[in-house]
């Protein structure tokens, strides 16, 4: 294997790499062993702390929490995709009356922390005397934030289609609507897909913020289970289990994103590059 | 309107302290995650397989864990290791560990944008590893890294609000204090929003500027 | 490529496994034994009192009652992490003194206890939740204060507690509220006790630690990250009784907390009615039975407090 940083290693470099590998592995194993040892020394592996999880009722609690998480994420995902589509098309519009307000809304919601948006969704209706379900307070916050990010992903995706494509389409007499629907979207969709999936992973993870308004999602349930004093406050076991669930689900989605990216890059390249599947910036910045 | 202004002036102490701590968290965790993230990024592009595997595992585990859970581990699990860290440093560490995974990805994809031929040509000219890195690879990779890196840090600035659930008085904790003081939540939340806009928008502008300045045809 | 697919399948399989709950039935208890099977219901009956709904109830002029009656159910705000007062046991049942009082009142309003919908409301959100109509009434260590009376109204008090301190058993340096200087003190965000610590300057502002729940504070206390947990003695005794080897209550209460039932502000008719019902429970021994079966288990006795009608 050769990369931009180094050539195919020769015999000496291979020996050195092997040595470094062994040292690094030893270091990592030692760190894990230290954590395991300390956890067992402070009794994190005592049966008392894990006993609860054998019971169907506790497993049901976790499943209910998982369901609440998936429900909030599912509804919010659909709404965020809609929100993103509407605002992206407004931002791509020729009419400033649509473009300017849409830009304002998208930029605004991307700048506000999600936590504050959720607070808005929860406290403000209550202050004016409407009772709002916590699910919807959470969903609204998730929709506004992730919808704005998705709007940017959509816009960047459409802009990334080479200009010649739409020029050609106009030249054969297509109308704007047709150009967008028949030429730009199908090509842009391919390049956007991994970025969209990554953003949905972010959305799923962000449902964990529901704990702040006591929406009974997975992390909140984990906290309740961990807070049972008769079982010795098993926060560590409860959080380990919750983390494993989150990592598996988000991991599955990430693998899906990775797989899509691989698949799409095999197809003939008429469109621009595939947008990077990174939720990093939670921002598909316009550079492609 | 007068009421809206009063909320700010009456509670200026709280707003000042909250946002001060937010900025402090942002700066400390920013430096921390940059260092740790570069280190992890270096591991991911290194020729040593074990380090590459460790970097990849770290990124995949941390990126798929909610930040709230990372905080919870720092506050509730780390004391079980007989390590006693106060709440503010815990929040800095949690943000650092989480953000480093994203910084690492930026570094890796930044390095990957440099065409292999560039380094091969440099090596063919007889440049040493250090020269290849500092004269050929990094100048090109950095340009590709800076804009997404800014996005990572903007996201991190907003993520500091999660520390509110873990006994750190920062901007995200202000609503709870204000409801104790009986202030109208709507006004409070609007002021916090304004505060974040003041912090975030310059960063966004800087990002746009760098993007435009360094946009090069490859 | 291939191994990634295998990994995906393996992950999916492990998920499916965890979903097919292969657990033991029954009530998990720390000793490992299977306590009290019995009828599975959503209610917890540690006191053994059964709450039968009254028929033919009418509370004239109460909008809240009309709302409850037409909905056929009642929505009650509760706490969920306070041993012996308001908590959810490992089977998901609601238990405790406050919960049973809430059930008693629901019964007197003609609502079957099975038709109660519980909502977990954090301390900081109680007034907003009552004002906004998210809940019909709130029962959960809710101290009657003049400030809160601006936003909600209170029936009761149905119990009187005092703010106290929970410390590690081997810690003799904290003897009361005046020995807290320089110590880390933890309590729930937005609760009365933490406001008192702040207002009376019992410890330095930097040493005040706040979490959403008391369980988290207790965890931090056992981990030596804080030195004391402060709230009402009724709550703290519950924690101390569950872990007597490591925790103790200081036993020097420094306030009087009158627990009331939080009701919408302008509903005087309902307030008077609920007050009558609480008084009836004081007289016929229901209150005592509930107390003995819940809070009384931590070893202290109590008598009904004086109602404060207004």
CATH number of the domain that residue A260 is part of: 1.10.3720.10
Give chain C positions within 8 Å (CB) of A130: 132-133
pLDDT at site C6: 52
Q: How confident is the model at residue A277 (pLDDT cuts 50, 70, 90)?
A: very low
pLDDT at site B61: 92
Does pLDDT of A117 surpass 50? yes
Hey, are the CB atoms on C92 and A51 less than 8 Å from each other?
no
Of chain B residues 51-90, which have a CB less than 8 A from chain C? 75-76, 79-80, 84, 87
Residue A61 and residue A16 share a domain:
no
pLDDT at site B195: 94
The H-or-E segment that residue C293 falls in is helix C286-293
- Which domain, by its residues, includes A28? 1-42
Residue A248 and residue A216 share a domain:
yes
Q: Which of A4, A35, A219 sits opposite B81 (nearest CB)?
A: A35
Hey, are the CB atoms on A52 and C28 less than 8 Å from each other?
yes
Residue A8 and residue A54 share a domain:
no
Residue A143 and residue A61 share a domain:
yes
Q: Which domains does chain C have, with CATH numbers?
A: 63-159+259-298 (3.40.190.10), 163-249 (3.40.190.10)
Give chain C positions within 8 Å (CB) of A213: 125
| Nearest chain B residue (CA) to C216 | B76
Mean pLDDT by 10-residue block, N- to C-terminus, for chain C (310 residues)?
51 50 61 38 66 79 86 88 79 83 89 86 81 88 87 89 91 87 88 85 88 89 92 87 87 88 89 90 88 80 83
Give chain B positions within 8 Å (CB) of C190: 176, 179-180
- Residue A269 has a CB neighbour count (10 Å cut-off) of 12
Of chain B residues 149-168, which have a CB less than 8 A from chain C? 165-167
pLDDT at site C34: 38
Q: How far apart are CA A204 and CA A69, in angstroms?
A: 8
Residue A176 and residue A81 share a domain:
yes
Mean pLDDT of B134-147: 86
| Nearest chain B residue (CA) to C193 | B180
Q: What is the pLDDT of residues A228-260, one digit of tens each?
A: 887 888 899 999 999 999 999 988 888 887 787
Q: A282 in a domain, yes or no?
A: no
Q: A77 in a domain, yes or no?
A: yes
Q: A147 in a domain, yes or no?
A: yes
Q: What is the pLDDT of residues B198-208, one digit of tens each?
A: 999 999 898 88
Q: Which domains does chain B have, with CATH numbers?
A: 2-213 (1.10.3720.10)
Residue with structure tokens 């939720």? Answer: A279
The answer to whether B159 touches B97, Cβ cutoff 8 Å, is: no
Residue A101 and residue A20 share a domain:
no
Q: A277 in a domain, yes or no?
A: no
Q: What is the pLDDT of residues B57-108, one digit of tens each?
A: 999 999 999 999 999 999 999 988 888 899 999 999 999 999 999 999 999 8
Strand bridging mode C247-249 / C163-168:
antiparallel
Does pLDDT of B217 surpass 60? no
Q: What pTM value is reported for the model?
A: 0.84
Q: What is the pLDDT of residues A149-176, one digit of tens each?
A: 999 899 888 888 888 888 999 999 988 8
Does pLDDT of A280 surpass 60? no
Residue A232 and residue A130 share a domain:
yes
Residue A87 and residue A31 share a domain:
no
Hey, are the CB atoms on C26 and A55 less than 8 Å from each other?
yes
Q: A221 in a domain, yes or no?
A: yes
Q: How confident is the model at residue A211 (pLDDT cuts 50, 70, 90)?
A: confident
Q: A7 in a domain, yes or no?
A: yes
pLDDT at site A130: 72
Total structural domains within chain A:
2
Residue A178 and residue A62 share a domain:
yes
Q: A96 in a domain, yes or no?
A: yes
- Point out which residues pair with C231 in neighbouring strands: C164
Residue A171 and residue A260 share a domain:
yes
Residue A29 and residue A126 share a domain:
no
Residue A231 and residue A185 share a domain:
yes
Q: A287 in a domain, yes or no?
A: no
Question: Hey, which chains touch C, using 3+ CB pairs under 8 Å?
Answer: A, B
Q: Which of B61, B114, B185 sits opposite A4 (nearest CB)?
A: B114
Assign 3-class secondary structure to chain A.
CCCCCCCCCCHHHHHHHHHHHHHHHHHHHHHHHHHHHHHHHCCCCCHHHHHHHHEHHHHHHHHHHHHHHHHHHHHHHHHHHHHHHHHHHHHCCCCHHHHHHHHHHHHHHHHCCHHHHHHHHHHHHHHCCCCCCHHHHHHHHHHHHHHHHHHHHHHHHHHCCCHHHHHHHHHCCCCHHHHHHHHHHHHHHHHHHHHHHHHHHHHHHHHHHHHHHCCCCHHHHHHHHHCCHHHCCCHHHHHHHHHHHHHHHHHHHHHHHHHHHHHHHHCCCCCCCCCCCCCCCCCCCCCC
């Amino acid at each position: 294997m050769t990369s931009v940083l180094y050539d195919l290693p020769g015999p000496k470099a291979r020996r050195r790499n092997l040595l470094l590998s062994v040292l690094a592995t030893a270091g990592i194993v030692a760190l894990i062993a230290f954590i395991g040892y300390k956890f067992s020394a402070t009794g994190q592996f005592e049966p008392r702390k894990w006993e609860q999880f054998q019971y169907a009722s506790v497993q049901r609690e976790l499943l209910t929490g998982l369901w609440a998480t998936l429900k909030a994420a599912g509804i919010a995902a659909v709404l965020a995709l809609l929100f993103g589509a509407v605002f992206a098309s407004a931002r791509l519009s020729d009419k400033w009356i649509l473009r300017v307000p849409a830009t304002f809304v998208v930029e605004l919601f991307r700048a506000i922390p999600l936590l504050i948006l959720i607070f808005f969704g929860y406290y403000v209706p209550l202050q004016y005397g409407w009772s709002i379900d916590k699910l919807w307070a959470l969903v609204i916050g998730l929709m506004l934030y992730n919808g704005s990010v998705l709007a940017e992903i959509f816009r960047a995706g459409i802009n990334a289609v080479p200009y010649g494509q739409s020029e050609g389409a106009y030249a054969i007499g297509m109308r704007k609507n047709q150009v967008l629907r028949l030429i730009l979207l199908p090509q842009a969709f391919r390049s956007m897909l991994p970025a969209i999936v990554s953003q949905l992973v972010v959305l799923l993870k962000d449902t964990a913020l529901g704990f702040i308004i006591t929406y009974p999602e997975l992390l909140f349930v984990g906290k309740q289970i961990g807070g049972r004093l008769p079982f010795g406050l098993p926060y560590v076991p409860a959080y380990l289990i919750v983390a494993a669930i989150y990592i598996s689900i988000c991991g599955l989605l990430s693998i899906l994103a990775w797989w899509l990216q691989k698949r799409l890059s095999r197809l003939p390249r008429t469109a621009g590059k595939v947008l990077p599947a990174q939720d990093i910036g939670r921002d598909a910045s316009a550079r492609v | 309107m007068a009421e809206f202004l009063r909320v700010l002036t009456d509670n200026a102490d709280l707003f000042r302290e909250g946002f001060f701590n937010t900025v402090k968290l942002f700066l400390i965790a920013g430096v921390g995650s940059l260092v740790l993230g570069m280190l992890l990024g270096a591991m991911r592009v290194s020729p040593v397989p074990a380090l590459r595997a460790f970097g990849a595992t770290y990124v995949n585990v941390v990126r798929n864990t909610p930040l709230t859970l990372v905080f919870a581990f720092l506050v509730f699990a780390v004391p079980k290791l007989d390590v006693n860290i106060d709440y503010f440093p815990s929040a800095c560490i949690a943000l650092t560990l989480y953000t480093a995974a994203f910084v690492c990805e930026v570094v890796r994809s930044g390095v990957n944008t440099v065409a292999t031929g560039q380094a091969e040509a440099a090596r063919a000219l007889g440049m040493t590893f250090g020269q290849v890195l500092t004269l050929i690879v990094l100048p090109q990779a950095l340009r590709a890294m800076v804009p997404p890196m800014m996005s990572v840090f903007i996201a991190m600035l907003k993520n500091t609000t999660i520390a509110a659930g873990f006994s750190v008085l920062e901007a995200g904790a202000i609503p709870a204090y204000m409801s104790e003081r009986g202030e109208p939540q709507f006004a409070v939340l609007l002021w916090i929003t304004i505060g974040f806009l003041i912090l975030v928008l310059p960063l966004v502008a800087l990002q746009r500027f760098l993007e435009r300045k360094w946009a090069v045809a490859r | 490529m291939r191994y990634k697919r295998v990994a995906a399948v393996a992950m999916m399989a492990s998920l499916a496994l965890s979903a097919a709950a292969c657990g033991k039935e029954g009530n998990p208890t720390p000793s490992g034994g299977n306590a009290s099977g019995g009828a599975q219901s959503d209610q917890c009956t540690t006191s053994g009192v059964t709450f039968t709904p009254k028929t033919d109830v009418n509370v004239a002029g109460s909008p809240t009652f009309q709302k409850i009656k037409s909905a056929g159910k009642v929505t009650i705000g509760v706490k969920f992490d306070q041993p012996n007062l308001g908590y959810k046991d490992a089977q998901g049942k609601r238990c405790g003194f406050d919960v049973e009082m809430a059930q008693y009142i629901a019964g007197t309003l003609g609502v079957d206890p099975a038709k109660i919908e519980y909502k977990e409301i954090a301390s900081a959100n109680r007034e907003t939740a009552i004002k906004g109509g998210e809940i019909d009434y709130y029962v959960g260590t809710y101290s009657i204060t003049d400030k809160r009376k601006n936003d909600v109204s209170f029936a009761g008090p149905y119990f009187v507690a005092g703010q106290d301190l929970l410390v590690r058993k081997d810690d003799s340096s904290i003897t009361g509220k005046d020995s807290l200087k320089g110590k880390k003190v933890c309590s729930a965000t937005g609760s009365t006790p933490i406001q008192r610590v702040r207002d009376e300057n019992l410890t330095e502002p930097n040493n005040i630690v706040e979490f959403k729940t008391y369980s988290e504070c207790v965890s931090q206390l056992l981990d030596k990250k804080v030195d004391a947990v402060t709230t009402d003695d009724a709550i703290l005794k519950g924690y101390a009784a569950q872990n007597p080897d490591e925790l103790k209550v200081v036993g020097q209460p420094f306030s009087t907390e009158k627990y009331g039932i939080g009701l919408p502000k302008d509903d005087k008719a309902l307030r008077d009615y609920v007050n009558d019902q609480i008084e009836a429970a004081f007289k016929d021994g229901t209150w005592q039975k509930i107390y003995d079966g819940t809070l009384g288990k931590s070893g202290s006795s109590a008598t009904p407090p004086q109602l404060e009608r207004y």
